[in-house]
Amino acid sequence: MKTKKNHACAFFIAAALLIANAAHTQQINNSAATSFNQTQNITTGNYTYKVFQAPNKMYGYDILSNGKFIFHQGASPARPSEFVTALPKKEQAEKAALYSIKKLSENRPAALTREELKKIIAGQKQP
């Protein structure tokens, strides 16, 4: 009889710990998303973009199509890539996101080249 009570008690304690852990994990994920994506969603046609500030005080953006993630432009100046240049201002990241959306609507890849990003940073008009 004691064994059944011990098993039942252990089961309820384990269930309570699992529920508490799931709630805590969800709270951490929600707070991390809120602090990382500090900018509201901007919708243009079927596309939405989110500008975010990275810990290095640079900006990047994500593009979603009908609510599904399709592209991420990082905010790391140290990543060696033809397509990654950190954007130092929020407005530049917004312009880059809009240009990426324009490229997508023309059935071209969303990734901006280093030259395209340099033009946005310099304030030059894109083609």
Residue ranges of the domains in the chain? 1-36, 38-122
pTM of the model: 0.61
Q: What is the mean pLDDT of residues 44-64?
A: 88
Confidence check: pLDDT of 34 > 50:
no
User: What average pLDDT is seen over the chain?
Assistant: 73
Our CA angle for 7, 11, 15, nearest 5°, is: 175
Asked whether 89 and 76 are in contact (CB, 8 A), the reply is no
Confidence check: pLDDT of 97 > 90:
yes
Asked whether 53 and 90 are in contact (CB, 8 A), the reply is yes
Position with higher pLDDT, 82 vs 95 = 95
